[in-house]
Structure 1
Amino acid sequence: MVHDISLTTLLLLCLAAAAAGWIDAVVGGGGLLQLPALLVALPHVPAAHVLGTNKAVAICGTSAAAVSYVRGAKLDLRTAVRIGVAALGGSLAGAFFAAGIDSAVLRPLIMGVLLAVLAFLLLRPSFGTAKGSAAPVTRRRVLVAILVAGLGIGFYDGLIGPGTGTFLVIALAGILHMDLVAASGTAKIVNVCTNVGALVTFSLHGSVLWQVAAPMALCNLTGGAFGARMALKRGSGFVRGVLVVVVVSLVCKLGYDQWGG
């Protein structure tokens, strides 16, 4: 299906994968770059194969970033895994309903949420920059995180997807009072769970172009590991700055898809 892809095109895809891995590791939203790059580079490939290849690449960078965060940050792994399992179920449910949903209807709603998030970040410059409390969070907040960040955002990931990692970071920081570094690390663990479910589904249907995914995955993995280490080294203020840039980029992309495409 992609036997005639040029070496130059493959190299550009690998660069996009590395950059996407870095963005995704710091604050989420790497798919904003990687998926459009695949769509442009493989215009005659069925959409399912592009999405499957994207997931095969993304899971490598997400996993590398998750490992880096687990080693370098104090994460509540038990809570992260519980949210991740809920997100896996939510993403499967979202994928089930995706065929009957018009994304053109959803985009304005998502843009509204993103604009509200952007306003919140600009009006609350201290959000997510303070160190999280050492005391364990209440069971009620953990339950809310499982429902919102797990089932809710997981459902959104299966339904449409763009900005899932960014939404996870914001939700985890807000609900569980995490600083943005801890929220990013926890979000990576949750993302691994959702990506596993999606990749298994695409693989069973033969919708992964492994000859393209393999070299891209190596670059995505490198970018993910580097981005996680940079976030750990520079702290929550750096993550917050990248978060604002990614949210603005998501708004612009969704607006273009809705009215300019």
Structure 2
Amino acid sequence: MSDGTKSLELFQGRLDEKSLQAYFNRIGYGGDREPTLEVLRELHYLHPQAIPFENINSFLGIPVDLSLPGLVQKLVLEGRGGYCFEQNLLFGEVLRTMGFLVKGLSARVFWEVPEGEIKPRDHMLLLVQVDGRKYIADVGFGGASFTAPLSLDHPEPQETPIERYRIFKEADFYYVEIWIKEEWKLMYRFGLEPQLLPDYQVVSWYLCTHPSSLFVKDLMAARCMPWGRYALYNERFTIHRKNEESQKRTITRHQELKQLLEEIFLIQLPPHETLTERLKKLISEE
């Protein structure tokens, strides 16, 4: 290629040893560092249990920093979580530092989107190559984040520690579905065109600043567990246990909401002056 595009990469640097070890400490990983499928699976299993999905920055009007130093500071050192761009950019940087071949992709989400409504390609996922085989990694899809990488070339249903997924291809696109309540639900559609950091920065800025964005209006958090998931959407708290009926309840006090974020989702809340006010307004607390 002579147009210079061959040098364009999503991941511009690698984590230094101190930052990489801090990440391993954060997720509780002490295994090998070789770029094998077993290592990828273990990291993918541990990450969403330790680093929760959350959108507190955009909910409070705090800028979302997608730079590598910013991601390490927030998700690793400050005990915070993040949404798809933060989660998968950090995870991708970790994998690349360890020697994995990684590319960033983008997806158009259909999960919980009203029929007929068309969403932009506003979700990030990763394409990881191991031993010549391609896998999809995604630790940033909220309450349905994968807990294991999925084979891109495996049309049959794939079991993960929590749910069952399947990937199929039609024309130039791949579709990811999840088995929920005895039926397949479409999560998103993606192609294999690599994305660069500016591609994600533009979409991330829109999602965390536009008044109609869910990431601005609503509060979301999710965390995987070995037995299932915790999920929070505004004042609605849900516990999903594998092969059991979900438990749901409504939070009525902002103190309880704050306690959930800190103790269940393991989020070290930022000392923001409007946090308490926003939590009170969220649950219509007088």
Same fold (TM over 0.5): no
Higher strand share: 2
Which of 1 and 2 has greater Rg? 2
Q: Say which structure, 1 or 2, has more relative contact order (CA 8 Å, 6+ apart).
A: 1
